[in-house]
């Protein structure tokens, strides 16, 4: 059965299903209970499950993650909300030093099934520290898995799949897309958690994106079709581990690849993806792998964020440059 939901409502419904299924699932974070979160993703959960399972924490991200480590060791499955992307850094030590390493350090005896939800990216006109893209920090860290949804169906299923996983997962949510609607199949998941998918088939070039930039890439493909170019769009979905099989298959067909993400280009996910494509598809490439990214500056004031964020024109310009080789 399909329902029309926003990404935000799909996440809320997915969290609810996970909590109904397993009494060991806890939700914790700043304002997640009575308020329902600043984006209302946890709206109504404390009312229905109580304040022992939906926990309003102090304003202390390191404490949130540290507490989650102890809970996970005791058999719980905590889902931690980091209110905004730029607030995660006080918890960074806990995440990379404890959450990422405990399973390896204990020789497999200890698992930490923790989900760390992070609304990320810009486009909402927010103030400083509210519009960052820190995904590369976590994708670089061995022992963590990192995923990002881009549509309501993936939001609904991926949050449940992440909670069910015995591995710690950083769950990146595209905050500017929370209100976009789409069909959700509430009976069967469309894909496993750690696989990429073709969001739009095409033959002339491959656009690679994740999270908030998938919509931008799809819009660029629609615009390019008016010029007679048939662009394939791949939604990566999983950032660590990267699922590159569909990417290689696509690039070998199209001969061109453009990676799009909001984070700065220097050492971003696009660098790793470009390197892997070049290694595996060198003789199929008709042009270098190009990147369309945020600039290598701190995120700017909201009044000029549209100058910073990759948009349709910048993506189409990269497509033109690719065909210029």
The catalytic site residues sit at 130
Q: 92: exposed, middle or buried (C-beta count within 10 Å: 0-12, 13-18, 19+)?
A: middle
Cβ contacts of residue 165 below 8 Å, gap of 6+? Answer: 113, 145, 193
C-beta of residue 320 within 8 angstroms of C-beta of residue 290: no
What the block records as the tokens of 265 is 């280009």
Q: What 3-state class would DSSP assign to 113? A: coil
Nearest-angstrom CA–CA distance, 220 and 133:
21
What the block records as the tokens of 47 is 């009312």
C-beta of residue 290 within 8 angstroms of C-beta of residue 323: no
Q: Please provide the distance, in angstroms rounded to a whole number, between the alpha carbons at the two ends of the chain.
A: 47
C-beta of residue 235 within 8 angstroms of C-beta of residue 262: no
Q: How many helices (H) and strands (E) does the chain have?
A: 12, 14
What the block records as the tokens of 291 is 């990147």
Q: 129: exposed, middle or buried (C-beta count within 10 Å: 0-12, 13-18, 19+)?
A: middle
Our CA dihedral for 62, 67, 73, 76, rounded to 10 degrees, sits at -120
What the block records as the tokens of 156 is 């609904």
Cα-based angle 82, 96, 275 (whole degrees, multiple of 5): 100
């Amino acid at each position: 059965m399909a329902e029309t939901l926003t990404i935000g409502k799909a996440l809320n419904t997915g969290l609810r299903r996970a909590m109904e299924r397993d009494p060991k699932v806890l939700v914790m974070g700043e304002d997640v209970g009575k308020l329902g979160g600043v984006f209302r993703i946890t709206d109504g959960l404390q009312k229905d499950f109580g304040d022992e399972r939906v926990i309003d924490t102090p304003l202390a991200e390191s404490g949130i993650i540290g507490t989650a480590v102890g809970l996970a060791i005791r058999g719980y499955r905590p889902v931690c909300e980091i209110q905004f992307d730029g607030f995660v850094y006080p918890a960074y030590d806990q995440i990379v030093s404890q959450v990422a390493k405990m399973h390896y350090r204990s020789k497999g005896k200890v698992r930490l099934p923790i989900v760390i939800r992070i609304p990320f990216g810009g486009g909402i006109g927010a103030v400083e520290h509210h519009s960052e893209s820190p995904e590369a920090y976590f994708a670089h860290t061995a022992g963590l898995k990192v995923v990002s949804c881009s549509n309501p169906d993936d939001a609904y299923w991926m949050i449940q799949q992440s909670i069910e996983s015995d591995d710690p997962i950083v769950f990146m949510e595209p905050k500017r897309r929370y209100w976009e609607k789409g069909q959700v199949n509430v009976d069967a998941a469309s894909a496993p958690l750690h696989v990429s998918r073709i969001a739009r088939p095409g033959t002339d070039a491959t656009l690679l994106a994740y999270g908030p930039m998938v919509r931008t890439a799809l819009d660029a493909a629609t615009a390019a079709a008016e010029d007679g170019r048939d662009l394939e769009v791949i939604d990566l979905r999983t950032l660590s581990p990267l699922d590159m099989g569909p990417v290689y298959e696509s690039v070998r067909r199209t001969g061109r690849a453009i990676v799009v993400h909001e984070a700065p280009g220097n050492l971003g996910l696009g660098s790793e993806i470009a390197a892997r494509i070049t290694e595996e598809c060198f003789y199929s490439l008709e042009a270098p792998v190009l990147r369309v990214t945020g600039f290598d500056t701190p995120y700017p004031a909201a009044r000029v964020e549209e100058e910073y964020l990759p948009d349709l024109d910048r993506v189409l310009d990269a497509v033109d440059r690719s065909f210029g080789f």
